[in-house]
Structure 1
Amino acid sequence: MRIKLLTFLVCMLCAAAAFAQSHSNEIGIQTDNDSYLLQGSDRYYTDGIFFYFRHALKVKSGDSTKLANKVLGFELGQKIYNPQSGSVLVDGADQPSLVDRPFAGYLYVGSTLNLLYKNESNLKLSAQIGIVGPGAKGMQIQDFVHDNFGFYHPSGWEYQIHNEAQLNLAAEYNKLLARNSWIDVSLASYVDLGNGFTGAGVGPLARLGSFNQLFNSVTTQSTAIKNQSVAPLHAHEIFFYYKPLFNYVAYDATIQGGLFDKHTSTNSLEITQDKEPFIFSQQFGLAFTTNRFVFDIAAIFHTKDDKEMVQSHQWGSVTGLYRFK
């Protein structure tokens, strides 16, 4: 996993350009893994991979008094979850009692519409369709990575969450609260609704460094822009940020299983658990842009999201985007 991260960073950084210019399209990848924090862990939310394409839409003249930017996005993603270890094998036999968070995979395709206003608020709407369970291919991907990169062989996926088709909707709202030349604070919030994930979260977001307005920034995934009607604060962004969130979880299919699955089969090996209704998360990150490239590197720390989990969890996240006309 460390080789994967270093290769990704070197390839993206070597291609960085040096002058500022707006671009209306961007394509990129995000990779999440708990091993990026160099703690030797392999548990809970253990791996994620996401592919993005975003296209800035033209802001119509009738909207231009309020809207500064409008971005349409498409994405493909997969998340993989383990218990406290990717193997529950002890002395040659599986130990189901070690499954303190279910084995689960989530695979989806989605679309987003990001409306960004001149008053530095934004509303981002998203929809995802996908699957949770064996159809998400979490076991196959984890087996391939572990078997081909010198890690232990995972064991216990026969206990994973059952298949269920997913429809998940979300809305994200951000609003600038205060700013001076080198620091600002915003409100960050979201609402999820679906048979996979339902809940909400709210908290502050603090940025320190050289950042742009929220309608053209890494912070709001709006670095693609069609017509630059307002001059950016900086030619390039480079800033640290801190984002603590208070989260309420009403339903999580990767913990509780499919919402419409009866979970009554006598032949089932599926192990589900009880979700924690309240979670506190913290994200520490560094974001920066060049003429063509956008980077966001972060560490995320979560309290337990499952009542049976033996400890909290954390992971690293690296996003790289290439911008073009």
Structure 2
Amino acid sequence: MKTKPLLFAFSLFAGIHTYAQTHTNEVGLQSDNDSFLAQGSDRYYTNGIYAYFRHALDASKNDNLANKVLGFEAGQKIFNPRSGYIPAPQFVDRPFAGYLFVGSSLNLLYKNESNLKLSAKIGVVGPAAGGQGIQKFIHKTFGFYPPQGWQYQVRNDVELNLSAEYNKLLARAEGADVSLTSYANLGNGFTGAGVGPLFRLGSFNQLFHSASTQSTVSRSDIAAPLHQHELFFYYKPQANYIAYDATIQGSLFKDHPEPGTQEITLTKKPFVLTNQVGGSLVINRFVFDVSVIFKSKEVKEMLRSQQWGSVTMLYRFK
């Protein structure tokens, strides 16, 4: 890949200075969809949309911190079985479910290239999440088949979740490094944990100034970044333990199926593997990330594994 023409083109598009700048805010969107892979599939985790706002806080009062970022997000996830068209309940191999949420996070990024990101989210799983309406709108807009089977979806339930994410640099050479990545979730919606390595190849910055850790904003350059811009590829395999998932099992505190409904809930698998391959570009005011995620079966009744594409674009400003 000829990176210099690509960087120059993005510089012209940005229309601003080509030297490194400090931006304290960023706003953007992320879109996930299995149709991005052009395989004709429409199964399992089929669509996700997220909005982000991040603001850099003053980290100079703590001698160990290089950066500190406060984040806010809102999003929706949509799940369906092997297809969005299910003519009978026996074909449901992953429950229909929507998940709608808002949340906030505090990302503490240390000079030793470790970080601890603490998050809290409140949301709803079920018809109130609007999954059925959004899927119908998308399919009608783009000329896809009309969805059928949402009468079997997981019932309404309010979810409160806490999570912690920890990353730590393990080794670095010229143009390549490897880090430890891990997370833990606790709540009535999602409980579990995961761990794995992150491999990066290209021009990347330290973990306290990088797209890899959602730290592309900062209030001051306590430690100068390695590069003016980031352009790197990454591979992130991860082993995950799933203790509870409300989009599969329904409410933690209700009987299933819920009386008076056609709700279908199924059995989650305790161990799930994911593989994410992607690339990130950070240049001037813009942050871009494109990736493909492969995930093993998360429900015992599932016929196949799943995969989807993810695209993120952020805009940084003062």
SS at 2:137 equivalent: helix
Once residues 13 and 147 of structure 2 are traced to their aligned partners in structure 1, the CA distance between those partners, rounded to angstroms, is: 36
Match of 1:24 in 2: 24
Match of 2:53 in 1: 53
Aligned to 2:66: 68
Match of 1:182 in 2: 175
* Distance in structure 1 (CA, Å) of the matches to 2:139 and 2:243: 33
Contact 1:182 1:208 in 2 (8 A): yes
C-alpha distance in 2 between matches for 1:87 and 1:76: 28
Task: Quote the residue 2:306 is aligned against.
Answer: 313
Q: In 2, distance between residues paired with 1:309 and 1:202?
A: 24
In structure 2, the partner of 1:3 is none
Kept in 1, the 8 Å contact 2:289–2:312? The answer is: yes
Q: Residue 148 of structure 2 is aligned with which of 155, 159, 165?
A: 155
Partners in 2 of 1:158 and 1:319 — Cα distance? Answer: 32
> How far apart in 2 are the matches of 1:186 and 1:265?
44
Identity %: 64
- Determine the structure 2 residue equivalent to 1:127: 120
Match of 1:82 in 2: 80
Q: How does 1:1-325 map to 2 (within 5 A)?
A: 15-17=13-15, 19=18, 20-61=20-61, 63=62, 65-88=63-86, 94-263=87-256, 265-325=258-318
Contact 2:155 2:258 in 1 (8 A): no
TM-aligned CA distance change 1:141 to 1:23, over 3 Å: same
Contact 2:238 2:274 in 1 (8 A): yes
Aligned amino acid, residue 224 of structure 2? A
In the alignment, is the contact (CA less than 8 A) between 2:60 and 2:222 conserved in 1? no
Where does structure 1 lack aligned partners over 5 or more consecutive residues? 1-11, 89-93
- In the alignment, the residues of structure 2 paired with residue 97 and residue 265 of structure 1 have an alpha-carbon distance, to the nearest angstrom, of 18
Shift of 1:112: 0.5
Deviation at 1:13, TM superposition (A): 9.5
CA 1:153/1:274 → structure 2, altered by over 3 Å: closer, same or farther? same
Structure 2 SS opposite 1:171:
strand
Q: CA deviation at 1:16?
A: 2.9
Amino acid aligned to 2:317: F
Asked if 1 retains the 8 angstrom alpha-carbon contact of 2:161 and 2:187, the reply is yes
CA change 1:115–1:266 in 2 (3 A) is closer
C-alpha deviation, 1:265, in angstroms: 4.1
Deviation per CA, 1:18-67: give whole Å up to 9, x if none: 61211000000000000111111100000000000000001143x0x200
Please give the alpha-carbon distance, in whole angstroms, between the structure 2 residues aligned to 1:13 and 1:271.
51
Q: Matches of 1:35 and 1:257 in 2, distance apart?
A: 26
Paired letter, 1:28? G
Distance 1:265 1:78, change over 3 A: closer
**2:193–2:241: 8 Å Cα contact kept in structure 1?**
yes
- CA deviation digits over 1:249-268, x for unaligned, max 9? 00000000111122254422
Q: Residue 257 of structure 2 contacts residue 264 of structure 2 at CA under 8 Å; is this kept in 1?
A: no
Could you tell me which runs of 5 or more consecutive residues in structure 2 were left unpaired when the two chains were aligned.
1-9
Whole-angstrom distance in 2 between the partners of 1:139 and 1:251: 23
Distance in structure 2 (CA, Å) of the matches to 1:318 and 1:13: 20
Q: Distance in 2 between matches of 1:131 and 1:101?
A: 18
Q: Is the 8 A contact 1:164 1:261 kept in 2?
A: no
Conserved? CA contact 2:116–2:164, under 8 Å: yes
Partner amino acid, structure 1, of 2:34 = D
**d(CA) in 2 for partners of 1:264, 1:247:** 27
